[in-house]
Amino acid sequence: MFAVLCYSPFKMLCFIVLLLSFSSSSSDNPIQAKRYTVNLDLPPEQRWLDIAKEYKEHGRQIVDVLKSMLPPKVFPLLEQLALFADNHFPAPYPDEMRGYAKGFNISLADMILCNILYDLTAYCTSIVAQDKDGNVYHARNLDYGHAAYLRKTTYMVDFQSKGNTVYSGTAFSGQVGLATAQRPNAVTITIDERDQGNFIENLMMFILDKKALPSMFAVRNVVAADNMDFNQAVKYLSEVHLDADVYYIVGGVKAGEGAVITRDKLKAVNVWKLDAPQRWFLVETNYDHWTTPPTSDDRRDPAIHALNKTGQANVDLIALYKVLSISPVLNNSTVYTTVMQAKDGSAFNTWVRQP
């Protein structure tokens, strides 16, 4: 059954329509992700304890799954990184990771692994699109090799201060950074993996470059910043030093505020922006947009075809959800789908997919 959480009668009606439209055409059984609150007014070590305790039974399993993907010689490097976490990670991330690790009953080195491996190995599809009235919409699928397990540990989180939501995101348990995030009335951001270099090379570069951040921490830095807007977000995400090459997909509030930032570890290689009416949508999977995706993993062209068939006059979050639900854009590795709109913070929503 399609679980729905909306914030207005209009959105409730929209997603009921979405439910009905997929009851006969979709082969998966999407379930709305659980939603939690992180209280930013608490000390960092206490912010994630409630969530960590709820997912504690998965903590050791998560680490074991991640470690199974890596050669053993990586683990001493992670332990060394944990010893110098306060020097390498900016506040509040070291203390938040310590608190989460305590709740999980795992080491800080294992918690660091949870926060730097996800964003180096996920395969995704992100879309930012603009309708004819200048409204910008943003949606994404996150795909991962251990999808069946990660679906159990996917949730939404609202980061609040004084009872008000400052920003929101979708995460796997163990993460304090964000690969999918929104700051209402400011910006939306997703990360897609860019496959450049192997994990050990990336980890060594990360350790040596004291300015480098995990790409998910950079996203959280953006949505946590006061007075943030689209242009500031694009500038920061184009310049910040990172642990690995990624694609940042960014949406804003105003017409034309949509971009795909192709990144290496030190800077932006390319910034590709909306330019309606000719270029009213951008589709990013895991390949440079100026190249041809491999036939073995071409999610880009089916998404482009579906968007062109939809048309700019009909694009909205429901339309983007439908595009992200066609095969092979939706596939056996798809963990979740998120839809969001910076202009309407209440639109942020995530469904765990089960194709």
As annotated, the active-site residues are: 124
Task: Name the pairing type of β-strands 258-263 and 246-251.
Answer: antiparallel
Question: CA-to-CA distance for 86 and 93, rounded, in angstroms?
Answer: 9
Contact 75, 67 (CB under 8 A): yes
Contact 101, 144 (CB under 8 A): no
CB atoms within 10 A of CB 213: 22
Question: CA-to-CA distance for 281 and 299, rounded, in angstroms?
Answer: 15
CA Rg, the chain, in Å? 19
Output the six-digit token pair for 264: 């290496």
Report which of 327, 343, 320 is spatially closest to residue 140, judged by C-alpha positions: 320
Question: CA-to-CA distance for 33 and 5, rounded, in angstroms?
Answer: 10
CB contact burial 90-111 (16+ within 10 A = b; e otherwise) = eebbbbbbbbbbbbbebebbbb
CA geometry: angle 165, 34, 122, nearest 5 deg = 95
Output the six-digit token pair for 116: 């730097």
Amino acid found at 296: S
Task: Name the pairing type of β-strands 349-352 and 334-340.
Answer: antiparallel
> Reduced to 3 states, what is the DSSP secondary structure of residue 42?
coil
CB atoms within 10 A of CB 163: 8
Task: Name the pairing type of β-strands 34-39 and 154-161.
Answer: parallel
Taking every pair of Cα atoms in the chain, the longest distance, rounded to a whole number of angstroms, is 54
Output the six-digit token pair for 82: 């944990």
